[in-house]
Amino acid sequence: MLLAGDFGKAPATRCCSENGDQRKNIKEKSDINIAAVVGNQPVCEGTDNSDLPSYVAVFIEKEVGNDLKSLKKLDKLIEQMTESKMQLEEQVLTVSSEIPKRIQSALKNAEESKQFLNHFLEQESHLFSSINSHLLTAQPWIEDLGAMINQIEEIERHLAYLKWISQIEELSDNIQQYLMTNNVPEAASTLVSMAELDIKLQESSCTHLLGFMRATVKFWHKILKDKLTSDFEEILAQLHWPFIAPPQSQTVGISRPASAPEIHSNLETLFCQLLKLQTSDELLTETKQLPEKYSLPASPSVILPIQIMLTPLQKRFRYHFRGNRQTNVISKPEWYLAQVLMWIGNHTQFLDEKIQPILDKVGSSVNARLEFSRGLMMLVLEKLAADIPCLLYDDSLFCHLVDEVLLFERELHSVHGYPSTFANCMHILSEETCFQRWLTVERKFALQKMDSMLSSEAAWISQYKDITDVDEMKVPDCAETFMTLLLVITDRYKNLPTASRKLQFLELQKDLVDDFRIRLTQVMKEETRASLGFRYCAILNAVNYISTVLADWADNVFFLQLQQAALEVFAENNTLSKLQLGQLASMESSVFDDMINLLERLKHDMLTRQVDHVFREVKDAAKLYKKERWLSLPSQSEQAVMSLSSSACPLLLTLRDRLLQLEQQLCFSLFKIFWQMLVEKLDIYIYQEIILANHFNEGGAAQLHFDMTRNLFPLFSHYCKRPENYFKHVKEACIVLNLNTGCALLLRDVLQSTSGQPPATAALNEVGIYKLAQQDVEILLNLRTNWPNTGK
């Protein structure tokens, strides 16, 4: 192997006899070789020049190695390195020749750009001076031209003003000519055009023009309205309008006299012409509105022909129900309410058969009957707004007024189809002062009713006690009367116009439920010592009934809507947690949940008290049964017939009597909960206090099994198909105690050998043990005394 030092000496030794030129060529070739080595080996990139000898040594080692014959390759390697050097020199020359050209081109472009920029700057300066000079020259022209433009615009405004006046006068002249020729329809149509112009001019600041336009419209509107109203009233008089008598006794409209077609034709013509005056009438007439505190919904004025038809009825209403007339009695709101309902009923047929076709013919969307009802309703609202402040603090009169108004509203909506979106009496009752008084009176009378229903002799007796199919809930009279009271309150406020008012009534209902619950609790505490008595059971039935009805109401559409409204209110006021809001929004809870939870808690407490009472009696009756001598009872084979243990009779009799008593006094759902709670306690008691507290021979185990399966369990067979499933501890304990000796030995061995293992569970399941734990079964096996003597 050649080392780096040897590589440096070898050429000198070989070339010592060569001349200087030859040494120069050899040096150049060596440089080429080094460059090639550096250029072709990636490891040499970016290295320092001091490392070149080592890289060259590596290269020579790779190409030549220890084989001296490989030195023949040197000439070939030198040629390759020479070619590589020439290629590299060409690349360097090419790059070095292109870069100056690019730089020169860039400098040339920059120079040209500078010349262009200087040229543009010169042009800009020249243009700036020219513009300034031109502006100075044109300034006087601009001022003169501006003044002329202003004059032209002012003249155009004057011209437009004159055109409007001309147009108004032209329309006015046309109306005059039509009236002179008695062409009322065209006059009315022209007045419509004039009213439309008036509407277009509303945004104008020309107050005099607006005044002139409005005065002209008013002038011709009055003339046309007076003329058409006079003619329309004559036609109505021929039809004997208004109809005071009921529809059955009306002659006009049912019978058809010879002139009827002509009368109805004139009626249609005049009705249509009056309809044309509707636009101008709305411009000129301010609709009479009640104060804003009543929050009446916005509505257009009643159409003009219906207004004229309502005029005689309005006169009659004001005559009879205002002032000092004998018919205007503040304590008799039913008089004017009934009168309005009668008028609506008397005119419904005529409006539907004669007026509605006219409106349909002209393409109007107005319903004649509802428009007529709306006009009469305004009379009622005005009357209520005037009367309510006078009787606000007389409870009986105010309550009577509310009752009559609610009856009126019910008939108005159900019989006459009056929409709840229109202004109605509930808006008057929703006014703040009136509404708060209504709530107070409603609460007062409800509490009085609760006092009377609870103090009644029949308060705790069911109205349907003799009707089995109806009396499933065994509801006492007081509870049913109370829920009827709540239902009536719901019907009274369900048509209120706003959700906030309905929610206030809902809070009143919830307060009443809570008050009634407290009253029931107080009565229940008085009856605590007789927890199985009739009144105690009636209270429990009442609590259950109220809770059940409230749960049903929670799914009612009306209360679901109130729940949504309450959700929005709570969200705005941040009165509930996010969890509670989420439960309300997802319908997991209801508006009555708080009340239902309190009632359910009371129900559970009362049932628990009853169960504890019966359980105490059963324990007292079971004292003898606990002391039974289970160790010395004869075996089943020694007895002709198995019979009930005499000591078990008191226990079973007590249990039977109490079950029969409570089955008769409690409703089905409550009794089911009662006996299941009792069975649960009884099962644990018999298992722990009787079975685990004694030892059993074969006869004792058989007797226990007979007492339980043939006597105790059948007591509950009337209430479920498999009562033994509710006595799991007792049933499985009897199974263990009554296993034949071989099975018992085998089971004991399995349990002892596989403690806590799956085979033990399988063995227990095989003999019917699912409830008891392995340790419990081992204890029960140890209670058996009939084990064979195995010598252990």
My answer on whether 518 and 423 are in the same domain is no
The Cα 425–Cα 379 span in angstroms is 11
- Which residues, in sequence order, are bridge partners of residue 696? 784
pLDDT digits over 629-677, tens only?
Answer: 999 888 888 887 889 999 999 999 999 999 999 999 999 999 999 999 9
pLDDT at 450: 95
Closest CA to 602 of 533, 664, 519: 519
Work out how many domains the chain is built from and give that number. 3
With respect to residue 354, please indicate whether it lies within any of the assigned structural domains. Answer: yes
pLDDT at 283: 85
HSE at residue 765, side-chain half, CA atoms within 13 A, is: 5
My answer on whether 424 and 458 are in the same domain is no
Choose between 694 and 17: higher pLDDT.
694
Least confident of 23-37, 164-178, 344-358: 23-37
Do the beta carbons of residue 365 and residue 413 sit within 8 Å?
Answer: no
My answer on whether 423 and 467 are in the same domain is no
pLDDT band at 576, cuts 50/70/90? Answer: low
pLDDT at 33: 44
pLDDT at 257: 54
Do the beta carbons of residue 232 and residue 332 sit within 8 Å?
Answer: no
My answer on whether 425 and 468 are in the same domain is no
Closest CA to 417 of 484, 371, 470, 361: 371
With respect to residue 376, please indicate whether it lies within any of the assigned structural domains. Answer: yes
My answer on whether 330 and 475 are in the same domain is no
Joined together, the tokens standing for residue 760 give: 């033990």
The Cα 135–Cα 633 span in angstroms is 138
pLDDT at 581: 60
- Which residues, in sequence order, are bridge partners of residue 784? 696
CA dihedral 452, 456, 461, 466 (to 10 degrees): -100
The Cα 690–Cα 292 span in angstroms is 80
Choose between 202 and 345: higher pLDDT.
345
High-pLDDT (> 90) share of the chain, %: 60
My answer on whether 576 and 639 are in the same domain is no
**Measured CA distances, 158 to 166, 171, 255 (Å):** 12, 20, 62
My answer on whether 311 and 397 are in the same domain is yes
With respect to residue 65, please indicate whether it lies within any of the assigned structural domains. Answer: no
With respect to residue 529, please indicate whether it lies within any of the assigned structural domains. Answer: yes
pLDDT at 401: 96
**Measured CA distances, 758 to 75, 522, 699, 751, 761 (Å):** 91, 55, 33, 10, 5
pLDDT digits over 495-514, tens only?
Answer: 999 999 999 999 999 999 99
pLDDT at 79: 83
Mean pLDDT (whole number) for 592-600:
94
The Cα 104–Cα 116 span in angstroms is 19
Mean pLDDT (whole number) for 444-452:
94
With respect to residue 228, please indicate whether it lies within any of the assigned structural domains. Answer: no
My answer on whether 345 and 487 are in the same domain is no
Instruction: Mark which of 430, 453, 471 sits at the end of a domain.
Output: 430
Least confident of 222-236, 343-357, 461-475, 776-790: 461-475
With respect to residue 20, please indicate whether it lies within any of the assigned structural domains. Answer: no
Considering the entire predicted model, what is its pTM?
0.74
High-pLDDT (> 70) share of the chain, %: 87
In angstroms, how far apart are the furthest CA atoms of the chain? 161
pLDDT at 25: 47
Instruction: Mark which of 590, 617, 652 sits at the end of a domain.
Output: 590
Joined together, the tokens standing for residue 673 give: 């909960």
Least confident of 16-20, 241-245, 359-363, 399-403: 16-20
- Which residues, in sequence order, are bridge partners of residue 255? 252
Cα angle 232, 173, 185 (rounded to 5 degrees) comes to 30
Alpha carbon 390 to its chain's center? 42
Identity of the highest mean pLDDT range in 98-102, 445-449, 467-471: 445-449
Mean pLDDT (whole number) for 400-415:
95
Instruction: Mark which of 387, 405, 430 sits at the end of a domain.
Output: 430
Domain residue limits at 486: 442-590
Tokens 């099994």 identify what position? 705
The Cα 220–Cα 175 span in angstroms is 8
| Length, in residues, of the chain | 792
Local structure of residue 301 (DSSP, 8 states): P
Mean pLDDT (whole number) for 35-48:
43
Domain CATH for 706: 1.20.58
With respect to residue 402, please indicate whether it lies within any of the assigned structural domains. Answer: yes
Mean pLDDT (whole number) for 405-424:
94
My answer on whether 579 and 494 are in the same domain is yes
pLDDT at 14: 40
Closest CA to 274 of 304, 248, 252: 304
pLDDT at 497: 92
My answer on whether 630 and 776 are in the same domain is yes
Closest CA to 526 of 517, 542, 539: 539
Mean pLDDT (whole number) for 280-289:
82
pLDDT digits over 426-437, tens only?
Answer: 999 999 999 999
With respect to residue 612, please indicate whether it lies within any of the assigned structural domains. Answer: no
pLDDT at 465: 72
pLDDT digits over 757-787, tens only?
Answer: 677 888 899 999 999 999 999 999 999 998 8
My answer on whether 532 and 571 are in the same domain is yes
Identity of the highest mean pLDDT range in 16-30, 278-292, 581-595: 278-292
pLDDT at 27 over 60: no
The Cα 593–Cα 506 span in angstroms is 13
pLDDT at 593 over 80: yes
Do the beta carbons of residue 371 and residue 413 sit within 8 Å?
Answer: no
Least confident of 136-145, 246-255, 444-453, 715-724: 246-255
The Cα 329–Cα 331 span in angstroms is 5
- Compute φ and ψ for 696, nearest 5 degrees: -130, 130
pLDDT band at 462, cuts 50/70/90? Answer: confident
pLDDT band at 98, cuts 50/70/90? Answer: confident
My answer on whether 459 and 405 are in the same domain is no
pLDDT at 9: 37
